[in-house]
Amino acid sequence: MPVARLPENRQSLVSTLSMPLPDLFRKLKYAGRYAEASEAISIWLERDLPDMLRRRLILEQERLRRLPLDYPYDRSAALQRLQKTFPMVDEPCFDRLEKEGKIDYLIIDGVKRYHIRFAATMEKDSLIRKAFGLPVKTDNDFLDPMIRTLQDKGSLSVRIGMKSSVELNPKTFVPGTYRAWLPFPVPCAQQSDIVLESGNPQSISPDSAPACTAYFEQELKAPSRFDVAYSYTSTIHYADPLHAQAPEHELYPSEKPVCDADLAEDHIHVRFTPYLCSLAQDITKDAVTDAEKAWKIYEFITTRIHYSFVRDYLLLDDIGEYCALNLRGDCGLQAILFITLCRICSIPARWQSGLEYSGDSVGSHDWAQFYLPGWGWLFADCSYGGSAFRAGSTLRHAFYFGNIDPARMAANRLFMAELTPNMVTIRRDPCDNQTGEMERLGADCPLQPSDYERNVEIVQFTVLS
């Protein structure tokens, strides 16, 4: 597909998701005729168009290029992939799961194509595993002891060290000036004593940055790797806002105070749509206090939203409503839905994201914060809470309302935050930066996932108190 050259202000492109596509392109896209839609966009871009419409079409051309990459399986390959874990699934069962919305697909050029992680979604879901007779473990040997310690002692601190890298692929490398942004711990409610242990970035984002990164820029004649190692202290203070009185002082007094943005729409993915306003009213109709309203929202998401890996966030329109309409979504979609519903109910809420350590591996993760008078800023992890609910753990389900575990690295405190400095080409993930971004200056198109590999590893996890 032809791809129009992207303007320098990447964030301005993504902001155009607040507007719909012209009817011609919507019809072609919904028919799965992506190549034809992209060709039509190229023709339109030759016209004198309003600026926002032009930028929206340039962005859509990039989305059309990416969409098929997220759906590599035909039906036969999808069934074979699923049967590796669920050998009892036959074609009628596959059809039923598809109609229930548990298998994500698109129709591309008249053929159903299935999402690259549809099987991983089902393997992760405890209810599906139970339904097919596979084992489900209620207890979590890594998280449960930390949660009990927090409940008993009131707080828990750990010292965490991580190493992050992005490495160029020798097979696709093109000489030039490369820029890299590796996530770095942001000073926030739970994180302090942040130390750069190794690496030579040109700069590290200021403490006030909404997305904290270690930034590299270097002219390369051969493929190379950019890496950074850091350590920090993560401290969580236990909160039970549903059953306990607020403390004398806010639990995290150093956290940034409530601002207007914590109650506002962003007109792209945090929208107060008629459906979400109706849903918020329905969910919280029997709640009186803000704590009860926030709990009702958390309870709805953790018990009614089906956890599902989804296509890249750039490829979704209105993430919060998508999650609520389809009753499915991953950690980021659930966090955005929680934030949106809280704000509709006049409860300040904001974003946090970065990395999670599970005891044996490190992965990307998103969660939310919400504000209650007296308590101050607290946490809500709907994804972890939903997993706990489906596994039958009342301990973890209750804990992740008001709290998170300390085995996290928060790098971002704003969804769709710009990087410092901002990228020229459109980002691999324009909504969030958890494992790193790269670009080559002067390139017409963004670097592809196959052009560089991202890696994060844990090097220290020490319980301090």
- Residues with Cβ within 8 Å of 183's Cβ and at least 6 positions away in sequence, in order, are 164, 211, 212, 213, 214, 354, 355, 409, 411, 412, 433, 434, 435, 436
> Are 272 and 368 within one domain?
yes
User: Count of residues for the chain?
Assistant: 465
Phi, psi angle pair for 306, to nearest 5°: -80, 120
pLDDT above 50: residue 54: yes
Bridge partner residues of 463 (DSSP): 158
How far from 355 is each of 133, 181, 182, 383, 453, CA to CA, in Å? 32, 15, 12, 14, 17
Domain residues for 63?
A: 10-70
Percent of the chain with pLDDT over 70: 98
Whether 447 maps to a domain, the answer reads: yes
| Domain end residue (candidates: 382, 402, 422) | 402
Domain count, the chain: 3
Tell me: the pLDDT tens digits for 88-103?
Answer: 999 999 999 999 999 9
pLDDT above 50: residue 411: yes
> Are 356 and 444 within one domain?
no
> Are 261 and 227 within one domain?
no
CA angle 278/280/281 to nearest 5° reads 65
Pairing mode of beta strands 191-198, 225-237: antiparallel
Tell me: the pLDDT tens digits for 164-180?
Answer: 999 999 999 999 999 99
> Are 272 and 421 within one domain?
no
Phi, psi angle pair for 297, to nearest 5°: -65, -45
> Are 456 and 337 within one domain?
no
So what's the pLDDT on residue 38? 97
Burial 275-314 (b: 16+ CB within 10 A, else e): ebeebbeebbeeeeebbebbbbbbbbbbeebbbbbbbbbb
Whose structure tokens read 């804990």?
A: 399
Round to whole Å and give the CA distance between 202 and 44: 41
pLDDT above 60: residue 6: no
pLDDT above 60: residue 79: yes
> Are 218 and 296 within one domain?
no
> Are 376 and 449 within one domain?
no
> Are 252 and 312 within one domain?
yes
**Tell me, what DSSP letter sits at residue 244?**
S
Round to whole Å and give the CA distance between 311 and 330: 10
pLDDT (average), residues 250-267: 95
Whether 148 maps to a domain, the answer reads: no
Helix (H) or strand (E) holding 123: helix 118-124
Taking a C-beta distance cutoff of 8 angstroms, is the pair 331, 345 a contact?
A: no
Pairing mode of beta strands 328-329, 306-307: parallel
| Domain end residue (candidates: 402, 425, 444) | 402
Whether 177 maps to a domain, the answer reads: yes
> Are 255 and 227 within one domain?
no
> Are 210 and 250 within one domain?
no
| Domain end residue (candidates: 402, 422, 449) | 402
pLDDT above 70: residue 8: no
Whether 257 maps to a domain, the answer reads: yes
> Are 228 and 243 within one domain?
no
Taking a C-beta distance cutoff of 8 angstroms, is the pair 121, 307 a contact?
A: yes
So what's the pLDDT on residue 316? 94
Q: What share of the chain is helix, strand, coil (3-state, %, to 5)?
A: 35, 25, 40
Whether 353 maps to a domain, the answer reads: yes
Whether 226 maps to a domain, the answer reads: yes
Structure tokens at 367: 């969660």
- pLDDT bracket for residue 1 (50, 70, 90): very low
pLDDT above 60: residue 465: yes
Whether 140 maps to a domain, the answer reads: no
> Are 429 and 388 within one domain?
no
Tell me: the pLDDT tens digits for 259-293?
Answer: 999 999 988 899 999 999 999 999 999 999 999 99
Whether 85 maps to a domain, the answer reads: no
Radius of gyration of the chain, Cα coordinates, nearest whole angstrom: 22
Tell me: the pLDDT tens digits for 190-249?
Answer: 999 999 999 999 999 999 999 999 999 999 999 999 999 999 999 999 999 999 999 999
Taking a C-beta distance cutoff of 8 angstroms, is the pair 30, 60 a contact?
A: no
